[in-house]
Each structure stands twice: as C-alpha cells, then as structure tokens.
Structure 1
Amino acid sequence: MNWLRRYRLKLFFLVMSSGLAAGVFVASVRAGNQDDKNHETILWVGAVLAVGVVLVAATEAALNEREKENARREAERAVTALAFAYQQTFWPLSQALGTLSQEYAAAYSGSAATLPAGLAGTQAAQSTSVIKTVLLAASVLTAERHPVSGLPTARCAFYRMTDPATHTFTLVDWAGRAFTPRPTVDGTLGSHFRHDILEPRDPYHVSKETGLVSKVDLSGKDYRSVIAVPVVAGSREFGVLAVDAPRDTDLKDVHVHLMKSLARFLGAALALA
C-alpha cells in the first residue's frame, strides 16, 4: 500500500474532480427541464460545481508543477553531489595512482632487473582491459542513452600520440555510438590535441555551457558536445581521451571531472604497461 500513501493526495483530487464533474452533468440535465420549480437553483448549483472542477484542476496542476520543481532540485543536488565525488575522491585518487605508476615504471626501467616471465603479457592484457573499460564507462556515464534502443548516444575514443614531430595521434580503440571515429588526428587537429590539451594538461570542453567551438570533429556531423582530456602519468604524455555527444547540452562540467579521472586511471595503466 506504499503507492496509496504516496499518491493519496492525487487520488483525493481525482475523486473530487470526478464527483464534481458528475454533479455538473446531473445539474445540466435537471436544468434542462423548464417545468422544474427549482430550475434556477439547479443552474446556480451547476455553475458552482463547474467552478469547483476548475479550481480542483488548477490545484492539481499546481501540485504537479511543485513535484516537477522538487524533482528538478533533487536532480541538481544529485549532479552537485556527483561532481563533488569526482573532485574530492576519484580525481585525487587517479592523479596519485598515475604519479605512483610513473615513478614505479621509471625506477623499474632504469634498473638492471629482468622482467619476470609472463609479466609483459599480463601488463599488455590488463592495459587493453583498462582501455576498454574506460571507453565504455565514458560512453555510458556521460550523455543520456537513446530512449528507444537504450544504446549510448555518446562515443568515446582514445588517441595515442604516435609522432610528436608531426602532431600525429592514432586511434587505439573506441566505444559507444556509431560511426567509427577517424583513424588518425593530425595537422591542425593534431596540433590542437598536443598544444591545447596534452602539453598544458587542460581539458577542452565544447557545449552550450562553454560556448566554445569544436576543434575536435571526430565524426563529421551530429556531434555538438565534445570533451577532450589529456592522458598522462607523471611526466609521461600518452595521448588524448575524447568523448562526443549529439546535443550541445549533453556534456556538462560534471562530465569533465569524470573524464579527467578516467584519463588518469588510463594513464596509470599505460605507465605500468
């Protein structure tokens, strides 16, 4: 009976409006009889009942608007809490893990120790697993899913810097909505990746909130929101993690914090591999 307690006020208004509407109907039928000595009184009763129907409908509409406003505020509080979690937990954790991984990898590579048998294969396999997990997480945790198919409307791709001299970034893997992203990012876009995102360690966020113009056109059309973040670990620069979505309101500031954290986890895995 939880539903009854939750919707008892709406049920009350429904019953009241139905009763008043029935009263209006009966009054209109009775008022049609000109010979009835209470003809005028019935007309007044019908008018009062009709006003009652309007008032009940207006009250119910106001109640619905109040519930919508409360739901909107709850959603805003949830987004704020999520952003706080990203900033206070995931981001520092991923940053520390990336630095530790880089320090470990640098110390190990500079030593005379021999890599244990099987470790290289394990590192490569786990690195691939982390990449796929990060890409999938970004594609399903950012923009809303398609209302009919339930599939992601966002798409995430990881581009590794393969030639710093020519600012060339090569697609490693991607997940989310079709179509496949471009295989390489070079030229002007490559320069944007390196000088605006990777070297300064700054995210690039295109959306209605920022008003920036997309320089990261990964699909050619139907993607109006973009977040591109650097994938680094300590002093090492691996590439750029980019997510895009079809509407300019899809990707918000809270998603920037998420992408930065995911990119740090990815950088830590790459440093160890």
Structure 2
Amino acid sequence: MKQWLAERGVHYLFLLFSAVLGVAVAVVSVWADGAQGADKRQWALIAGVSAFGVVLITHFEKRLVEKGKKRAEDRAIRAEAGMAQLYTTTLRPLSDKIKAMAEFYADAAPLPSSLPAQTVADLDDRRKDILDQVLAGAVDLTAPPLGPSYLPRARCSFYLYDAATGGFTLEATFPGYRPPRTVIDPVGAAHMKNEILGGGGKTFRIDGEQVTRSYLIPEGTGYEAVIAVPVIHGTQEIGVLSVDAPRFADFIDPHVTLMESLARILAASYALK
C-alpha cells in the first residue's frame, strides 16, 4: 500500500511539473512574440529549456510505468510458481492420501446395508458441506471476483453419473445466480462419459488452443474456458466436477492440479457412503 501511494505521489508530482513547464512554454512564447534581439533569444532559450523539461519528465514517467509493469509481471510469475508448487507438492499429495484412506476404510469396514435414518441424514449433510466447500473453493481459487461488483466470475458444478441410464444430473453448483443445465442432453452425456469419466477417468480442459468448444458449455452462457475432472471412488464412477470461467486466460496450468485435488477430496466423501 505504501509503495502504491509513493508511486502515485511521484506520478502526480511529474504531472504537476509537466503542467507548469507546459504553461511556461506557452507564456514565454507570448512574451517572446514582441521581443527583439537578445531579449528574444533569451525568451527562446527559456522556452526551449521548458519544452525539453516536458519531454524529459514524460520520458522519466514512461520509464517508471515500464518498471511498474515489469515488477507486476515478475510478481505474477512468482505467484504462479508458488501456486504450482503449493498445489503440486502439498494439496495434490494430501488429497491423494485422504482419498486412499477413505477408500481403505470403506473397504475394510463397510457400512451396514441398513442404517438409522438419522445416520444417513447426518452423512448426507456432512457430504453436502464438503461439496459446497469444494465448489466455492474452486470458484475463489481460479477466477476470483473483480471490482466494482465483486461478483464471482467462475462457476463450479458437480454432476452425478447414473450408470443405469448413462445420464448426468446436476447435484450442486456455485454461485447460484447463473446455474448450468440441470440435466445433460444425451450427446453431451456421451461426451462427458467418454472424454472424462470413462477409462479410469481423465481431465478435460477447454483452453482456447487445443480445444475451443465443448458440449459442457453451450453457446451464449458467458463462459468459454472449462476444466472438468472425473470423480471416481475405486471402480465406481461417481460424477464430473467442472469449473467454468469467462475467458481462456483465467485458467493456468496449476488450476488443473487444483481441480484434480478437489475431485479426490470429493471422491473421498462419497467413499464413506
């Protein structure tokens, strides 16, 4: 904050000097108009020095702007590198271990076929809490809100897969003011099954380069970028977790690792069912 104020102060100081020198050039030109001989040359010299000062200040300010942009770019590069390291070395391994532990527990001590209704309701509530946190976390960590409205720009959704019908039904989404389709059409469902959930699961990304369009985002939705990841417990294909963003540039490679990690955490919650 202090650095920003200092930079703005220098900017306004340069602006003030430039304005003063600009006015000086105009005033001196008027005064020199009626002068003759040495006086005229003196006024011309003053006008030249003032004009040179304007050019010099403009040059210095441009250099400051360029340095500011370079610092911002360097900070962005360092932030992306730190994000990649955090997701790759911490979040991803941790989510893998949580998922493996949940699957081990579910296989070693499966829940009885009949549970008290209250227990079932409690498990569903806890699973919903995890799902809500996964959706909100994906939105906040991929395409954070921008001013002045600060409304969420990304949208994260989770579709449950029905193995009997081959269909996908929306289980939850965040934020709620721009919901996606509640039921995926047969063509889109086949795409999600074959490209994302099937074959052990694989991540699908619309990045504007390798892939530019998908059934996951119909035309006119206001989103163009997608990262979709499978949610699988053992051999059970649970569903697809996807996050959408308004622009391709909103997503970077570490966001893929983030979504894969969140999908594993979500799968762990469904393992205990």
Give the Cα separation in 1 of the matches to 2:166 and 2:115: 32
1:223 maps to 223
- Tell me the equivalent position of 1:77: 78
Alpha-carbon RMSD = 2.8
Secondary structure of the residue aligned to 1:184 is coil
Aligned to 2:260: 260
5+ long unaligned stretches in structure 1: none
The answer to which of 167-176 and 5-14 deviates more is: 5-14
Q: 1:1-273, aligned counterparts within 5 Å?
A: 2=2, 6-7=6-7, 10=11, 13-14=14-15, 16-34=17-35, 37-109=38-110, 118-162=118-162, 164-176=163-175, 178-199=177-198, 200-217=200-217, 221-273=221-273
Per-residue deviation, 1:253: 1.9
Structure 1 pair 177–156 and aligned structure 2 pair: CA distance change class (3 A): same
Please report the TM-score for the alignment, with normalisation by the length of structure 1.
0.86
Give distance in 2, aligned partners of 1:209 and 1:86.
24
Give the C-alpha shift of residue 264 in structure 1: 1.1
For the residues of structure 2 that align with 1:149 and 1:12, how far apart are their CA atoms?
32
Q: Identity, % of aligned pairs?
A: 35
Aligned length: 271
User: Contact (CA 8 Å) 1:171, 1:184: kept in 2 or not?
Assistant: yes
Q: Contact 1:99–1:234 at 8 Å: present in 2 too?
A: no
Q: How far has the Cα of 1:114 moved from its partner? A: 8.3
Q: Write out per-residue CA displacement over residues 101-154 of structure 1, whole angstroms, 9 at most, x where no aligned residue.
A: 1111122227x7986895433221110111111111222222242533211121
3-state DSSP class of the match of 1:173?
A: strand
Asked whether the 8 Å contact 1:198–1:239 carries over to 2, the reply is yes
After TM superposition, the score normalised by the length of structure 2 is 0.86
**SS at 2:226's partner residue?**
strand
Q: Distance in 1 between matches of 2:32 and 2:17?
A: 22
**Which one-letter code corresponds to 2:153 in the other structure?**
T
Contact kept in structure 2, 1:228 and 1:241, CA below 8 Å: yes
**Hey, what's the Cα distance between the residues in 2 that align with 1:219 and 1:37?**
74
The question of whether the paired residues in 2 share the 8 Å contact of 1:155 and 1:175 is answered with yes
CA change 1:272–1:257 in 2 (3 A) is same
Q: Tell me, yes or no, if the aligned pair for 1:140 and 1:176 is still in contact at 8 Å.
A: no
Unaligned runs of 5+ in 2: none
Relative distance call for 1:235 and 1:100 in structure 2 (3 A) is farther
* 1:70-124 Cα distance to aligned partner (Å, 9 max, x none): 10121122012112211111111111111111111122227x7986895433221
* Residues 158 and 5 of structure 1, relative CA distance in 2, 3 Å threshold: closer
Residue range with higher mean Cα deviation, 4-13 or 136-145: 4-13
Distance (Å, rounded) in 1 between the aligned partners of 2:195 and 2:211: 17
Aligned to 1:92, what secondary structure does the other structure show?
Answer: helix
Letter in 1 for 2:147: P
- Kindly tell me: are residues 81 and 168 of structure 1, through their superposed partners in 2, closer, same or farther at Cα, counting changes over 3 Å? same
Deviation at residue 21 of structure 1 after TM alignment: 3.2
Deviation beyond 6 Å, 4+ runs, structure 1: none
Alpha carbons 1:160, 1:171 under 8 Å: kept: yes
